[in-house]
Structure 1
Amino acid sequence: MEQRQNLPKGILGFPTAPFKNDGGIDEKALEENIKYLIKEDLSAIFIACGSGEFQSLSAKEYQNMVDIAVSVTNKQVPVYTGVGGNIQEALNQTVISEKAGADGYLILPPYLIQGEQEGIYEYYRSIIENTNLNSIIYQRDNAISDLNTVTKLAELPQLIGLKDGHGNMELNIELIQHLGDRFEWMNGMPFAEITMPAYYHMGFETYSSAMSNYIPHISRMYFEALKKNDKETLHNLYQDVLLPINDIRKKKKGYAVSLIKAGMEIMGFNVGQSVRAPVVEVSKEHYKELEGIVKRALDKYPEPSVKK
């Protein structure tokens, strides 16, 4: 029960890794990003994960980002870190997370290898058992656990959630029907708002929202409409905001990350557009397209504080 008290639920915040001109982490911009997500009622902070360019951080930068997230949140919301990749580095990241005071971690896929189910199980088990923190497994890329593997992992008390970024609905139904409320079920598909109706009615009531980094009030409006089955509002938001942004996101690999920074810059955040290879910056053409979408969205769906 102690661990499940800090279970992340609802709309989850995933800050970026803002870089300065010299290539280092912009600590002030990161603090502002986290404070904004908390102010906008995101239910948890997930630091140094996919949107935080986990794959390109040094050990020192990782430690710094985790420390900043724990300090800034100051227990207002749970803090989860990203761990994974190289197994030895992942184990070290869990220790860093525990010492820093994080509530848990999201386990990202292992580096490169396509493992058998036995290997995937051992990868997750070794990380989960390395600390007493909450842990969440991530169904994505080369780390897709089948029903038997997830059921076996469910015996570990530290494991409190499953995030799906794979989109195999048959498997998701099997998992949720067999394991029910054992986990918090999270939609982690790229641009989760697009697929959330399919997930929500299966029992996935939590999701990660990249869009919340720059237009969180629209994320909240969307999720409230989904819960109320407000089909008209959902349709309008899909047509005016979600699908147009998703169309841009699909135009280049890596836009799932860099488009967030572009949106934040459009909204006045001093986050910059700098990303680390192999992620690419948003092109001027696509930036202008996003700028137009965001402007029209704000005109039609103004933030509550600026409504006339």
Structure 2
Amino acid sequence: MTHPFKGAGVALVTPFKEDSSIDFNRLEDLVEDQISNGMDYLVALGTTAETPTLSLQEQKEVVDCIKSKTNKRVPLVLGMGGNDPYKIMQTIQQTDFTGIDGILSVTPYYNKPLQKGLIEHFKLVCKTSPVPVILYNVPSRTGVNMDGKTTVEIAKTCPNAIAIKEASGISSQVSRMVKYAPETFGVISGDDVLALPTIAVGGIGVISVIANVLPGKLSQLIHLANNGQFAEARELHLQMLDLFKLLFREGNPGGVKAAMEITGKLKNIVRLPLVPVSKKLYTEIETELKKLL
């Protein structure tokens, strides 16, 4: 059976207008651009969407907009994490999951739980969720790394925990999960630059940032790799390698929003406490993009 989140996923940005209100026309264009360029599924309200700066009403409006434009053409994943499992459970219980195919739930941040705490946290989240759960491990943002053994235990204990977005950068951890987790559990790269290596050891794809600006190239890379065409995939990976790094030099989504403005997809506006990238980095991104377009 094909994994429902195998392939190229994108963590959608939230486009803003000059007054920092949400630009829903641009958001609809972004969704269409992703689907028409071969992306396999979409992720709404992830970190890249600047979700912590969106009000609850804005979050609902963003999801409704994405659901309407997607119209079930590809699966839609909803970001739904936090550092209090009981609040997450309450949010899940109050959410209309019509048109939602899964949730992406990040490890608790700030309170730095032990591995046992992570297991118990996700047991509660998975027990409550009516849709499949993608775990999300991103130690650089949360302050805690979910060990591969912990992920495997969650995967074996919680049947609806069907994948992990792994962004630790620890290659041995990725390999361990691929080796010991159930066959139905997928390891998804949470970092564009590690997508190809992750697939090479048995991962199933990526939840991408760069796809917001280059969906066609990114989806092609992932599809080639998943088909075992690693020479062709490597060529695309190396073409985008420098841009992968540039987009994160001064934080995400500042870099990718700069790139999207350069390509005419949206205005380069982020909400505080984020600020736009420096002029120097903006110029470097523009120079690198010209090589790829």
TM-score between the two structures when normalised by the length of structure 2? 0.88
Which structure 2 segments of 5+ residues have no match?
none
Amino acid at match of 2:23: D
Mapping for residues 199-278 of structure 1, pairs under 5 Å = 199-224=198-223, 226=225, 227-230=228-231, 234-235=234-235, 238=238, 241-252=239-250, 254=251, 256-269=252-265, 271-278=266-273
Amino acid in the other structure paired with 2:292: A
Q: Deviations over 1:15-61 (max 9, x none)?
A: 10112222222111111111111111110010010211122222111
Q: Counterpart of 2:234 in structure 1: which amino acid?
A: L
Give secondary structure in 2 for the equivalent of 1:45: strand
The separation in 2 between residues aligned to 1:228 and 1:248, in whole angstroms, is: 26
CA contact (8 A) 1:70 1:79 kept: yes
Q: How does 1:113-192 map to 2 (within 5 A)?
A: 113-141=111-139, 142-154=143-155, 155-189=157-191, 192=192
CA distance in 1, matches of 2:41, 2:104: 12
Decide whether aligned partners of structure 1 residues 37 and 116 sit closer, same or farther in structure 2, where only a CA change above 3 A counts.
same
Contiguous gaps of at least 5 residues in structure 1: 299-308
Query: Aligned partners of 1:224 and 1:108: how far apart in 2?
Result: 26
Q: 1:5 to 1:101 in 2, by over 3 A?
A: farther
Q: Deviations over 1:253-308 (max 9, x none)?
A: x2x31111111111111x2111123322122222222122212212xxxxxxxxxx
CA displacement at 1:185 relative to structure 2? 1.4
Contact 2:196 2:234 in 1 (8 A): no
Which residue of 272, 286, 290 corresponds with 1:291? 286
Is contact 1:67-1:100 (8 Å) kept?
Answer: no
Cα contact 1:81–1:97 (8 A) shared by 2: no
For 1:294, give the aligned amino acid. Answer: L
CA RMSD for the aligned pairs? 2.3
Identity %: 25
Distance 2:159 2:275 in 1: 39
CA 1:6–1:89 in 2, change beyond 3 Å: closer, same or farther?
Answer: farther
Any conservation in 2 of the 1:6–1:103 contact (CA below 8 Å)?
no
Q: Which moved more, 1:106-115 or 1:89-98?
A: 89-98
CA distance, structure 1, for counterparts of residue 20 and residue 87 of structure 2: 22
The alignment partner of 2:106 has SS state of: strand
After superposition, give the CA deviation of every residue in 1:90-126 in whole Å (9 maximum; x if it has no partner): 3344345544431111002323111011211122122
- Give the Cα–Cα distance (whole angstroms) in 2 for the partners of residues 30 and 6 of structure 1: 27
1:105 to 97, 103, 106: 103
Could you say what secondary structure the match of 2:81 adopts? strand
For the residues of structure 1 that align with 2:90 and 2:134, how far apart are their CA atoms? 17
